[in-house]
Structure 1
Amino acid sequence: MIEQQFDEQLAWQSEKLLFNAFGASLKRKFGGRIQRVSIDAGFTCPNVDGAVTRGGCNFCDNRSFSPSRRVRLKQVSEQLANGIASVTERYSKVSGFIAYFQPATNTYAPVDQLEEVFELALSIDPRVVGLAVGTRPDCAPDSVLELLERLAEKSSVSLEYGMQTIHQPGLDWMNRAHDHASMVNAIDRSRGRGFECCGHVILGIPGETHAMMMETAAEVGRLGFDSIKLHNLYAVQGTPLGEEVLRGEIELMGKEDYVQTVVDFLERIPPETIVERVSGEAPPNYLIEPKWCLEKSAIRLAIEREFVRRGTRQGDHHNPPKVAPSERPRPADETPESIRSQIDRRSRLPVLKMQE
């Protein structure tokens, strides 16, 4: 594992990149351009249905995250086939696709049904080279991790955890209904199973100082995420956060502050960690603020220019933890019983859209 990490670090640095960008990493791994295709199987979340609380995350309207929730929810097989066709029309050279189960909590269903829907996605088209699954850290019991471990024996698999922040006030403000200890328990049980672990982090949470965000950056290295996604906090229509922003109660991070914070963050994470995203975005008709997050290419360019101005790269200020992530022991499964009971049972959720 250490040798693989070193090879990953040397690869992007030898390509004269400023950080370990996701697209370049996929190209090295698969030998060509790989595109994700978003899939909505109809999952819900335990902070929506009452398993841990109700109301959902205060920033979340899944329609703004996934095109599939802006239209009638189609079967998984149809979504994937249509997505592949759309991407193929847009890009002339695509070597393969990753089936990305994106909106809601995509491990929150009976595990035998999860196996069925994930196997379906991997079997529809031979060009599907892998699977990406977005979830919460309190929704990954060992039964789910063992399933993903089996799938990773034949395909590339990434489990994307919504960490967001390590600080409890921010998690409470979002209505996440889990603590950071849940994240630590989940990734310590996920590591070493053959699939990648991605951490999703939101920068600009109200009440969080720059120092607090850098503490989250340090935790990325301590826990040993294989990849990360960085998003600015943005407000969309139909959410509690959106209403607060419209009332002038919350001011979101400005573009310049965000660029500086991203560079500070990337300087502090391990150089081998893959950076899947450096900003968030939403469709213009859903987005309230900040409008600058629509400028995806400009934001990335500004981040690269700031690295050049400083003369630094990802990992230049990283302090390795005293205990390497690979040496952290695998703990007991602490998934809440109210969630585990929904996953570790033999039944079917009729809402899941699989195939006719």
Structure 2
Amino acid sequence: MTNSHCNDRLAWQREGLPFNAFGAALRRRFGGRIQRVSIDAGFTCPNVDGAVARGGCNFCDNRSFSPSRRVRLKRVGEQLDGGITSVRRRYKQVAGFLAYFQPATNTYAPVDQLEEVFQMALRWHPDIVGLAIGTRPDCIPESVVDLTRKLAQDHYVSLELGMQTMHQPGLDWMNRAHNHEHLVNAIDRCRGQGFECCVHIILGIPGETHAMMMQTADEVARLGFDAIKLHNLYAVQGTPLGEEVASGKIQLMQQDTYVATVVDFLQRIPPTTIVERISGDAPPKYLIGPQWCLEKSTLKLQIETEFKRRGTRQGSHYRPPTLLPENRPRPADNTPASIRSQIDVRGRLPVLKMESRIESGSGG
């Protein structure tokens, strides 16, 4: 876990909050509201292009995750300008922005090209204070660790790893085409490198019991992530999962069950872990279900109310592991060769949508 700003990570308790919420943590760090601007840079995934599998994750339709894929793919700079303008219309006071590389696998490209696009985003506008980079745990060779550490020397950087679950049957069901050991290897190599590591978890995977989800919670706690995003499993049109939900083959988690499961989960993770998200949703145009995930404010209130009813908060049931995360040995890189060959190579991916000149941006 990164040591920067660790003293602030228990401020939420002094403020009487039920969990260490991301928005409040960013305000403490930067002195005001920080908003993410989602960017689609045109990346693909190794379980789409055949490097490890084809078909992609069974729940994934990038139109539902990124506004930019609902229209023509815009260049990165245009997306940043448009996103910043949109956020400023919505909020009167914004102290800064995070360029959020969200759809697909955002470290799956030649590393020199990754550096070019990430540096361009950081320089595009003077109010961009950092990056959030969503990726898979099997797409973080040492070259990407080195690059991320370099970027984090002068900016806030969060590397978001899609764990989803620690259980192989769930990973197989999703067609993730990686195993849990890739995740363990990645976090053990990224920990303490000067950037934050955030883990994505999906609750409600078919076949997973409550006990299995709590095992994933304990594993998150054992590995020592800086931040976590919790998502309910939801289905969107045009996906294999969507078809199974629409046909009645798969039942999605009920709202009251999800609320209780989130609270159970957060009680087991360290109080210093930042909670970046407590639910997931999609645009109503694409969402098949559950419909309750569209009521985000109501869901958040229900989760807070459940904490209050129990008289607990995040970390109430956390027990430190025998081997603390910071004492875990740093392993050798286990990135699959078929993936590393796409990253540790000089060249460009023609699909990547970039501006040719950094200085053409609105930030100079």
TM-score interval, smaller chain: over 0.9
Please give the per-residue CA displacement for 1:200-230, whole angstroms capped at 9, x wherever unaligned: 0000000000000000000111111000000
Distance 2:64 2:6 in 1: 37
Q: CA deviation at 1:3?
A: 7.1
Structure 1 residue aligned with 2:361: none
Structure 2 residue aligned with 1:225: 225
Pair 1:146-2:146 in alignment: yes
Q: CA deviation at 1:15?
A: 1.0
Q: CA deviation at 1:9?
A: 4.0
Structure 1 residue aligned with 2:41: 41
Distance 1:315 1:2 in 2: 18
Please give the per-residue CA displacement for 1:327-349, whole angstroms capped at 9, x wherever unaligned: 11110000000000000000100
Structure 1 residue aligned with 2:196: 196
Please give the per-residue CA displacement for 1:64-110, whole angstroms capped at 9, x wherever unaligned: 00001100001101100111111011100000000000000000000
Please give the per-residue CA displacement for 1:149-207, whole angstroms capped at 9, x wherever unaligned: 00000000000000000000000000000000000000000011100000000000000
Structure 1 residues 230 and 272: alpha-carbon distance in aligned structure 2, compared to 1, 3 A threshold: same
Structure 1 residue aligned with 2:90: 90
| 8 Å Cα contact 2:2-2:195 kept in structure 1 | no
Structure 1 residue aligned with 2:275: 275
Task: Map 1:112-123; keep pairs closer than 5 Å.
Answer: 112-123=112-123
One-letter identity of the residue aligned with 2:172: D
> Which SS does the other structure have where 1:137 is aligned?
coil
| 8 Å Cα contact 2:2-2:193 kept in structure 1 | no
Distance 2:48 2:331 in 1: 28
Q: CA deviation at 1:323?
A: 0.6
Structure 2 residue aligned with 1:126: 126
Please give the per-residue CA displacement for 1:291-328, whole angstroms capped at 9, x wherever unaligned: 00000000000000000000000000001110110111
Structure 1 residues 3 and 99: alpha-carbon distance in aligned structure 2, compared to 1, 3 A threshold: closer
| 8 Å Cα contact 2:59-2:236 kept in structure 1 | yes
> Which SS does the other structure have where 1:212 is aligned?
helix
Distance 2:91 2:192 in 1: 35
Structure 1 residue aligned with 2:359: none
Q: CA deviation at 1:10?
A: 2.7
One-letter identity of the residue aligned with 2:318: H
- Percent identity, please: 73
Distance 2:48 2:81 in 1: 29
One-letter identity of the residue aligned with 2:229: K
Equivalent pairs counted in the alignment come to 356
Distance 1:331 1:256 in 2: 41
One-letter identity of the residue aligned with 1:243: E
One-letter identity of the residue aligned with 2:67: P
Task: Map 1:1-356; keep pairs closer than 5 Å.
Answer: 7-356=7-356
One-letter identity of the residue aligned with 1:195: F
One-letter identity of the residue aligned with 1:262: V
| 8 Å Cα contact 1:5-1:272 kept in structure 2 | no
One-letter identity of the residue aligned with 1:323: L
Q: Which runs of 5+ in 1 are unaligned?
A: none
Distance 1:166 1:58 in 2: 17
Distance 1:299 1:229 in 2: 15
Q: CA deviation at 1:8?
A: 3.2
One-letter identity of the residue aligned with 2:355: Q
Distance 1:8 1:215 in 2: 28
> Which SS does the other structure have where 1:201 is aligned?
strand
- TM-score normalised by L of structure 1: 0.99
Deviates more, 1:3-12 or 1:33-42: 3-12
Distance 1:346 1:32 in 2: 39
Q: CA deviation at 1:7?
A: 2.0
C-alpha RMSD over aligned residues: 1.1
Q: Which runs of 5+ in 2 are unaligned?
A: 357-364
| 8 Å Cα contact 2:2-2:226 kept in structure 1 | no
Structure 1 residues 303 and 11: alpha-carbon distance in aligned structure 2, compared to 1, 3 A threshold: same
Structure 1 residues 180 and 194: alpha-carbon distance in aligned structure 2, compared to 1, 3 A threshold: same
Distance 2:10 2:307 in 1: 18
Distance 1:164 1:332 in 2: 23
Please give the per-residue CA displacement for 1:2-52, whole angstroms capped at 9, x wherever unaligned: 976762343110111110000000000000000000000000000000000
Please give the per-residue CA displacement for 1:219-244, whole angstroms capped at 9, x wherever unaligned: 11111100000000000000000000
Distance 1:236 1:285 in 2: 9
- TM-score normalised by L of structure 2: 0.96
One-letter identity of the residue aligned with 1:337: A
> Which SS does the other structure have where 1:211 is aligned?
helix
Distance 1:345 1:128 in 2: 29
